[in-house]
Amino acid sequence: MTPRGPLLSRIERWLDLQPWPGMSPAGRVRRLLLALWLRPGSLAMPVQPGSARTKVRWPGLLFTMVMHAVADVARPLTWLWNWGLKQPVRGLRAGLDEATARIAARLGRGRRLEGALNLMDRTPWLGFAVGLVAVVTLAFTAQASLSLVGQWVFIAVVYVLAMLFKRFPQRFAHLCLMALTLLVLGRYVFWRFTSSMDLNSGVEMFLGSVLLASEAYTWLILILGFIQTAWPMRRKPVPMDVDFANWPTVDVFIPTYNEPLSVVRPTVYAAQGLDWPRHKINVYILDDGHRPAFEEFARQAGVEYISRPDNSHAKAGNINYALQHTDGQYIAIFDCDHIPTRSFLQTSMGWFRKDPQLALIQTPHHFFSADPFERNFNFFRQMPNEGSLFYGLIQDGNDFWNASFFCGSCAIIERQALLRVGGIAVETVTEDAHTALKLHALGYRSAYLNNIQAAGLATETLAGHIGQRIRWARGMAQIFRLDNPLLKKGLSVFQRICYSNAMLHFFYGIPRLVFLLMPMAYLFFEYHLINAAALTILSYALPQLIMASYTNSVMQGKYRRSFWSEVYETVLSYYIVLPTTLAFINPRLGKFNVTAKGGLIDESYFDANIARPYLVLLLLNLLGFVTGLGRLFWFNTHETGTVLMNLLWCTFNLAILGAAVGVATESVQKHVHHRVRMLMPAFLRLPGGYTISCHTEEYSAAGLTLAVNDTQRLGLHSDVQVGLHRGDREFLFPAKLSLCETDRVEVQFTNLSPQQEAQLIQCTFGRADAWLNWQEDERRDRALGGLKDVLSKGWIGYERLFVWLRDIGRSVARRALGHSDTAARWEQ
């Protein structure tokens, strides 16, 4: 079929091609394809006799052709939505919203429900009775026999109830949404095990069982996650005693191995500025790199330096050696790039005085630099990052069950409790979680304070990010194998659940790969993995997927956007399968690896080595999609529903894989010192003594961006002094103007003394309010909005992949053409 009409004309106009009189549409297409084939990128050639040479970017042209074709196809659907369905759908939703809001108001959506929850919390037998009723209801609902119409009526009722419950107080709403999700899930699970596994051949039975096992893993993780986050603690700080004499002594440990001094220095300076009596705090650099420069810096800065004779057991061994040479009652531990705020100790230590059994307080890990996903997709501070879910919700949920665990940094541990469990655990490479498990088994308590009190550097590249997650996955598998929380003495039931979920989570590699590959079983080989009609499958599978996504969106939306978990897992799945499997079989395998921090990326590049598994999976799904189109129109016209369902599954996989490929394109990172956006008062003092009031827009360890109302007195490259405040104290820093605009200037600090460097860190990164209101976009998550965002990132990934393939093709073409006259003529 030859393209005709508006599409071909638009492409010709885009290329500035003038149609020849009398040329047929087929001739116009052949001319267009000739131009595309012979002119990659900057290689130019005449496209018609006597015409000027025109540079054509063929990837952009091809994408333009595809988008115009999609627009032509989608135009009737868009018209149908805008003029036929848009208003009725929105009106129905608005009516449901209004009705559920009125019902919620009638039920007294505030005090009554909170009072009922508090009563259940105070009365164990009442909570047990409610739970028993819920289990009986779930069992009855799961096995109830309904027709397809009845199933959809059931789903409609559940959806209306979900909209109603969402308007109740947060904790009650979350519990109700969990219950509704489990009801829908229960029906799906019962149907899957009783009505969908009557498969014909041995191959189908094997593949169907693999798919069912992968689904069962996701059901288990969902249920354990609901229990884990059912009642977030949201602990508040407890003030310290007024009398300083009652305050305990604290040793601050900053372990380091191969990180540059430029990364470690700010952490040391900030630790020196912690608000704590000077005679009750000591700061230690624990240097496993045995570097004289660090020892000299420690001497100049006035902190202690410890370097052990060997490097056994990596970070855990480093801390354990320091324990033998220090005597503080409490140990505050910071990774060498985690800069604490001045309020860290005063915010956290009060809980130790309130709860004598408390052995550990953990605070969030916060990052002021972009991780690979944020940087490569350019959404830093616009949506929650990968770690926000764990530190924002999961650890708070663990805290309710006394199961919040040590995360290796930004934490305080009571010395005697730590010594009683033998110091930091050395049996696994996730020594932090393993240490917390041992503490809990001995009856000690832990606390999680969801209050950002330190910030550090995120992983610089996708390769570094994957390496760090591989260590976490291997370590959790080692703990599950060596010191299984389900079997360990001394733990409560819910501590076992929380720890087990944390460890089982890292076994998602195989299930995720199964979901990415299973559509090809039907599309390539016509194997049926579920023995049911397509409409029946959708009637049971789709509602439980939608309900789980809706509930997670309501509960987790502040900490993770919908469908981004699929992207994160897809990026890591291939790489964690082997480490977790081997660690489970032989937990002694593997060693601790240090995550590189403070690196630079001079120019953008596509990391094809890291992206190789994504490319293979993408190619398989793309071939499956093309094969599915053939089955839809020619080979399997009797199974249209089944083909469409697998095509839809394949399309979702392609979107997720596109996003995975997109994040493998590393963006430029040229700033040695990362900039942080923050408004705080400042002033400029000019050489003549004139002072200009201003405020900061960005700061870093090297300079500031300042908003200034009056820049007439300022000259480019002139010397000034920048004034910043720390509490009621004022500090001046010598600087030079590097940019001067109408209402903003940039300054670079010059010739700072070590004392001024410390003061600068304490006035910026070490401020008590440094990380308040960090997230700039607090919009409520919507499941469809998250899906749209993932689809857009997938499209970006395909664009980047196409550019990479274009560059490879261009390079191959130039090498193949060599020094031929044609190549030389094209390059002119």
Structure-token pair, residue 501: 């979920």
Q: Taking the chain, what is the end-to-end CA distance rounded to the nearest angstrom?
A: 37
Residues 6+ apart with CB under 8 A from 182: 138, 223, 226
Q: How many CB atoms lie within 10 A of CB 379?
A: 17
Whether 649 and 628 have beta carbons less than 8 Å apart is answered as: no
For helices 564-585 and 783-817, angle between their N-to-C axes, nearest 10 degrees: 80
251, 288, 337, 396: the catalytic one is 288
DSSP for residue 144: -
Position 689, amino acid? G
Helix (H, G, I), strand (E, B) or coil at 523: helix
Position 465, amino acid? H
Whether 703 and 395 have beta carbons less than 8 Å apart is answered as: no
Whether 469 and 572 have beta carbons less than 8 Å apart is answered as: yes
Residues 472 and 485: their CA atoms lie apart, in Å, by: 17
Structure-token pair, residue 384: 């929650």
Whether 446 and 402 have beta carbons less than 8 Å apart is answered as: yes
DSSP H or E stretch at residue 369: none
Residues 336 and 339: their CA atoms lie apart, in Å, by: 8
Closest CA to 14 of 69, 71, 60, 66: 60
Position 788, amino acid? K
Residues 642 and 270: their CA atoms lie apart, in Å, by: 61
Phi, psi of 637 (to 5 degrees): -65, -15
Residues 252 and 455: their CA atoms lie apart, in Å, by: 16
Q: Is the dihedral of CA 579, 582, 584, 590 positive or negative?
A: negative
Whether 654 and 621 have beta carbons less than 8 Å apart is answered as: yes
Residues 660 and 112: their CA atoms lie apart, in Å, by: 47
432 flagged as catalytic: yes
Instruction: Give long-range contacts, CB 8 A cutoff, 24+ apart: 47-51.
Output: 47/15, 47/17, 48/17, 48/18, 48/20, 51/18
The half-sphere exposure of 433 on its side-chain side, counting CA atoms within 13 A, is: 25
Structure-token pair, residue 357: 């059994």
Q: What is the CA radius of gyration of the chain?
A: 31
371, 432, 781, 789: the catalytic one is 432
Residues in the chain, total: 828
Helix (H, G, I), strand (E, B) or coil at 444: coil
Residue with tokens 């220090």: 326
288 flagged as catalytic: yes
Cα–Cα distance list, 341 to 477, 549, 740, 772, 800 (Å)? 34, 37, 31, 11, 40
Active site residues per annotation:
288, 432
